[in-house]
Each structure stands twice: as structure tokens, then as C-alpha cells.
Chain A
Amino acid sequence: MENQKIKIGTIEASQLSEEKAAPQVKTVSILKKVQRQFVPQKSISKRSAFLMGVLAFVFLILAWSVVTYTGIVDPLFAPSPSATLQEAVRMMTSGFWTDIGVTVMRVMLGFAVALLVALPIGIFVGAYAPVAAFFEPVFSFVRYMPASAFIPLFIFWIGIGEKEKIAIIILGSLPQLILMIANNIRNVESSLIEVSYTLGTTPINVLWKVILPKSIPDIMNTIRIVLGWAWTYVIVAEMVGASSGIGYTILQAQRTMKVDSIFVGILILGLIGLICDSVLIMLNKRLFPWSTNER
């Protein structure tokens, strides 16, 4: 790869040196550089990818600054970046940390329970047709019932304590996890299974000797995606009958018209999500360097 890039570079340089006017050469080379980045399906360097990502955030903050500092939007509806930052500092020093902690704990606990149950069921659903025929219709059905619709029922059954919040997260993520893990298992190429049979593996052993090791990176990816969804379930649960958590804080802020607090709450959610995602992606790359499906 690196080699190829250098080669392209030298070819380019030799072509350009034939042209006479120096300033012209420069504009042409920049244009060509940009052009070379815009080839369908072609990847760009890690550094430029990072810069592009940062650029998007810069634009976002810039747009936000423009509409707030110039007074186009009433500060009552949207606080400026600096006001939001100030509010964030104020909230952090007056106990918002505990709310963040509570929410994170709920998500982690609920998701861990869901994963513990979903992992064996998902694996068996993916591997064995009779198990799939039994479980899949039910979970496909439950999957289409929004977890948030169960909140009133769960409050009635379990109350408004921690258990109810965790139950919502479990209900929301369990069917998704099971069905997606089952698919990860199914995606293992049949030729890999067949070849292991011809090398002496038995049908019982093939599950944990071939199918599982092959699908673990994909299952990790499923975990990452569904964990992201679990965050939305917890916030909804915290907006109904809760007395702590990020969702509760956001709802309280709305009641006292503190839009800056709402902004902080939402931004913190995004930030935690981004961190979780990055850590899991990094973990996947570290643990499974052999895997070709990176990302």
C-alpha cells in the first residue's frame, strides 16, 4: 500500500515537472490531490479521515455559534456554546456526576443481564434449525413492540424503582441481541464447517471449535450496536417515574425551562456513546487482529 502511494507520487511529480509555469503547477497539484481523494469506494489515509471528522464538528459548532451569538435565536430556546459550557461546569460541581453514574450503571446492568441470556440462546438459534424454528417467531414479534410502550405496564408490575428501569433495558435489547447474534452465527461460511468435517471434527464440536471462534468478532460488533440502542431505552425509562439519572435531569430542566441543562444532558449522552463505541471498536481490533472485517 505504502509503496504504491509513493509510486503514484513520483509519477505525478515527473509529469508535473514537464509543465513550465511554476504557480500553475501548484494549483493543478492541489486540484489533483483533491480529485484523487474522490474516487468511489477508495479509502483515504487515517490522518485525513480524522481531519474530516474534526472538520464536521467544527462546522457544527460554528453554525451553533452563528445562530446563538448573533441573536438570531432567542437564548431562551438555544444557549450559546460558552453558556452551555458554563452550565456544564456548574452541573458537574453540583451533583450531575451521580446522575451520570446512575444512568451508566442502569445501562450496564440491564445490558449485561440481557447479554448473558441472549448469548447462549442466540448461538443455539443460529446453529440449530429446530431451536431457531422455536424461538425466532416469538422474538421477531417482541422485537416490534417498542420497549417504551411497556413502561406503564412495568411500573404497574414492578414499581418505579431501579428494577423497572433495568427491565426496560433488558426487554429492549434482548430480542435484538438474540436475533443479531443468531445471524452472526449463521454467517459463518458453510465451506469452513464442511472442511472441518473432512478434517475429523464432529458436528457437536464444530460449534465451539469453528463456528464460535469465527463469529466472535461479529458478535462483538453486534454488542456494540445494541449497546447504543440500550442508551435510548434507559433515557426513555428515566423520563417516566424516575428521581435520578440523565433522562430525569433533562426532564427536570424542561420543567424549569433550563434549556442549557437540556443541552448539557444531551451532549453528555452523545459523548458517553462515542467513548463506548470507540473503546469497543479498539477492543475488537486488538483482540482479533486476524479478522478481515475491520470497523
Chain B
Amino acid sequence: MESIKVQGVSKRFTTKKGSVQALNSIDLAIEDKEFVTILGTSGCGKSTLLRIIGGLETASEGHVMCHGSQVTGPGPDRGMVFQQYSLFPWMTIQKNVEFGLKEKGVNKTKRIEIAKQYIDLVGLKGFEDLYPKNLSGGMQQRTALARGLANNPDVLLLDEPFGALDMQTREVMQELLLKVWQTSPKTIVMVTHDIEEAILLANRVVVMSARPGKIKDIIDVDLGKQRDYNTRLTEKFLEYKRQASNLIRTESMKVM
């Protein structure tokens, strides 16, 4: 069953100097419980596409369907995690993770229980009562991930979630995300400019071309379900990396 269906989506931004075509007739169907990464150079419109799916931006043409109904705005069925964490600074980690559940009207005992479970899953047990400002960037992003997951959305949209983290933390977070997806599969759409990240995590990598943003190619990643850091060193992985790098490289050259 299709979870997300992007149909003929274009986006133009009008600026003082005229209009800029950010996206040009994008068609994309994402299956239920599929992990799709959208890979592209900066300025290719990949974040705009994700924001349109999330309902935070409206398409100039075309539309997005989520489980059969048209997307008209943001909603709890499409949870989102941003690069800049966006935690509520006045709430403890526990309260942050509970936020969506509270909005849904889940009762207090149930809320606490679910939040604890996801805090545990992302490895933040013992940090529940701290405020975001007391946590490192990686820990803040874990909290944001737990908050997104605890709300149990149909689709989780990740906008370069690990972009602000250092390389080591990023790799740990990638494995964490893999583990989460393996234990409780869920439709995930993730935007990234990191080629290895895109391949390691995804069932399919959507490679975008720049100006106007179009889907250049879609790579089916057949690395099995059980992946970890060793997967990066396999021959198959390197082959995918070569393929994606070539696609991205021609795009980068074009923009330069």
C-alpha cells in the first residue's frame, strides 16, 4: 500500500528578482514502511519537497496524498524532525517527548509510560528531568527523534536531522535510526546531502538534480534489512556509493 504519493508537484518562489523554480513536476510514490532518502546537493529543493509533504509549504502545482487523503497542511500523521533540533526549551526531556501525546489527549499515566519507552529506545534513560540546554547536540537530536516517534505518526519526515552533528555522533545516530526502523518499521522519508548516509539507511535513494529540482534517478538499495557500520565496507555498498557519487558529482559541477 502507498503511504505517500507525490503527484506532479512543482514549486516556484517569487523573489524581488523574479521567480525561481525550486521543484519541477515531481512524481514519487513511497510504500508503507519504506525508508526513502532524498539525496541532492544544496539548493536542489530537497528540503522544499519534504516540507511540501509535511504540509509546511504549499505546492505551486500538483499535490501530495498521504494514505489516500490530500495533504492540505501539517498534521500529526506526518511527524517531522528538523536539523536544528527544535526542542521546547522550557520543557524537560520527558515533557518534550510527551508533548504530541498530550496534544492527542492520551492520559497522563499512559503518556509517561510511552515517553519513557522511547527515551529508553534512543538511549537517554536517566536524562528525563534535564532541560534541552543541558544536553549535547547529539542528545538533543535523540530527544527530537524520540518525540517524533512517540507520537506514532504514519510517516516520519527527517530534514537533514544529523547535519549539525559531528561525524562520530552522526554515525552513532545513523545506527540508532537503523535500529529503530528495524525494531518497529515505519515509513520514513529523510533528506540528506550525505551520500553514505543516504545509502546506508534507505530502501531507495531518490537522487535529485538541481535548478530546477527534479528527480534524476532512483537507486534501489538491496543491502538487506540487517545493516550496521560494517555494511559501509562491503563491495555492494561501495558500488552503490560509486553510482550515487557519479550522479551527484555531475549535478554539483553544473551548479558551480
- B-contact 0/1 string along A180-211, CB 8 Å cutoff: 00000000010110111111110001000010
Knowing A194-B80, A195-B80, say if A200 contacts B100 (CB, 8 Å): yes
Q: What's the interface size class on A, roughly?
A: 20 to 34
Q: Give every chain B residue within 8 A of A289 (Cβ-Cβ).
A: 131
Report the stretch among B60-68, B70-78, B196-204, B223-231 that lies at the interface. Answer: B70-78
A196 to chain B, nearest CB (A): 7
Contacts A198-B80, A199-B103 given; indicate if A213 touches B75 (C-beta within 8 A).
no
| Contact, CB under 8 Å: B133 / A290 | yes
Q: Which residue of B lies closest to A197 (CB)?
A: B74
Q: A195-B82, A198-B54 are in contact. Are A292 and B74 (CB under 8 A)?
A: no
CA distance A26 to B147 in the complex (A): 55
Chain B residues bordering chain A, tally (CB within 8 A): 30
Residues of A within 8 A of B (CB): 189, 191-192, 194-201, 205, 210, 213-214, 288-292
Whole-angstrom distance between the Cβ of A293 and the nearest chain B Cβ: 10
- Contact among A196, A197, A290 for B89, CB-based, below 8 A: A290
For the complex formed, measure the closest distance between the CB of A191 and the CB atoms of chain B, giving whole angstroms: 4
4 smallest beta-carbon distances between A and B, as pairs: A200-B76, A199-B100, A197-B74, A200-B103
Residue of B nearest to A217 (CB): B90
Contact residues in B for A199 (Cβ distance below 8 Å): 76, 79, 99-100, 103, 147-148, 151
A17 CB to nearest B CB, Å: 35
Highest count of chain A CB atoms <10 Å: which of B86, B100, B133: B86
User: From residue B209, how far is it (CB to closest CB) to chain A in Å?
Assistant: 27
B84 and A191 contact, CB distance less than 8 A: yes
Q: How far is the CA of A189 from the CA of B132 in the complex (A)?
A: 15
Contact (Cβ within 8 A) A192 B75: no
What are 24 A-to-B residue pairs whose CB atoms are below 8 Å?
A191-B82, A194-B74, A194-B80, A194-B86, A195-B80, A197-B56, A198-B54, A198-B56, A198-B74, A198-B80, A198-B148, A199-B76, A199-B79, A199-B100, A199-B103, A199-B147, A200-B75, A200-B103, A201-B103, A205-B103, A213-B90, A290-B131, A290-B132, A292-B89
